[in-house]
Amino acid sequence: MCDVLHVDASVRALSNDNPDHDSISKKLARRFISELKKHTHIDEYMYRDIGVNPPPFITQDWIGAVFTPKASRTARQHQILAQSDMYIAELAKADVVVISSPMYNYGMPAQLKAWFDQIIRINETFDFDLARGDKPLAPLMSGKTLVIITSSGEFGFEKGGINEAHSHLVPHLRTLSKYLGVDQIFEVASEYQEFADERHTKSMNMAEQELSVIASVLAEKKSVKLK
């Protein structure tokens, strides 16, 4: 049994009049959730399509509100932080976080970066203490599992791959995941979308198989660890 937060970041819909335009990352993420349901009971399923409903960008007033002690915040400052508070509450509840993302310009979509900017917040998801020396930030949450599902038009972004030097999507997600309280990461990539050849088909099939395995592995471990 577990609580799942599922965040989709593609601007493309899961299904369109022309299926060639369907989001691959969303399709794979949906597949993963249905596989997970086969293996374990999901107590609470929280879903955000931030590709279609993007989080607001943070502003100077947002930063001002964040650095104002909670008890001293004005009604306006509470309002400015309301969406961030909601995202953080969802994250806090989740045992498993599923993030599906396309690669845009070799990194994450702006919408997903905006979600992280709303969530990685001082005294909520991390604290800051100079007594820790040169690494003053520490996460406040822990014990979460992250499943990263990506889709790209090109290929070879893995270690040793021909595009490794341009791989800024998964490495960035891995860096940020620490501040989500993640200590276990699974990663599945579909590649070659722009080539639309048999390598793409093979990559999709592989991704689907990997997600089935991850769902069963996760369910096994979690049934012991979770509620």
Ligand X SMILES: Cc1cc2nc3c(=O)[nH]c(=O)nc-3n(C[C@H](O)[C@H](O)[C@H](O)COP(=O)(O)O)c2cc1C
Pairing relation of β-strands 96-102 and 2-8? parallel
Q: Which stretch binds ligand X (CB under 6 A): 20-28, 110-118, 173-181, 199-207?
A: 20-28
Q: Which stretch binds ligand X (CB under 6 A): 69-77, 96-104, 132-140, 217-225?
A: 96-104
Residues pairing with 6 in the sheet: 47, 98
25 binds ligand X per the rule CB under 6 A: yes
Which of 31, 77, 106, 110 forms a contact with ligand X (CB under 6 A)?
106
Residues pairing with 44 in the sheet: 3
Residue with the two structure tokens 């596989």: 35
Query: In the stretch 142-171, what mask flags binding to ligand X with x, by CB under 6 A?
Result: ---------xxxx-----------------
Separation CA 75–CA 157 (nearest Å):
46
CB of 100 or CB of 177, closer to ligand X: 100
Terminal CA-CA length for the chain: 7
| Residue whose C-beta lies closest to ligand X | 102
CB of 39 or CB of 166, closer to ligand X: 166
Q: Which residues participate in the annotated binding site for FMN?
A: 10, 23-25
CB of 146 or CB of 189, closer to ligand X: 189
15 binds ligand X per the rule CB under 6 A: no
CB of 183 or CB of 187, closer to ligand X: 187
Q: Which stretch binds ligand X (CB under 6 A): 19-27, 52-60, 77-85, 136-144?
A: 19-27
208 binds ligand X per the rule CB under 6 A: no
Q: Which of 119, 122, 165, 121 is nearest to 146 (CA)?
A: 119
Separation CA 222–CA 202 (nearest Å):
30
Which stretches of 14-157 are assigned E, i.e. beta strand?
A: 42-49, 96-102, 126-128, 137-139, 144-151
Q: Which residues participate in the annotated binding site?
A: 10, 23-25
Which one-letter amino acid corresponds to residue 194?
Answer: E
Report residue 111 as tokens.
């919408």
45 binds ligand X per the rule CB under 6 A: no
Residue with the two structure tokens 């595009």: 163
Report residue 143 as tokens.
């014990």
Q: Which residues would be at the binding site for ligand X (CB under 6 A)?
A: 10, 12, 23-26, 102-106, 151-154, 193
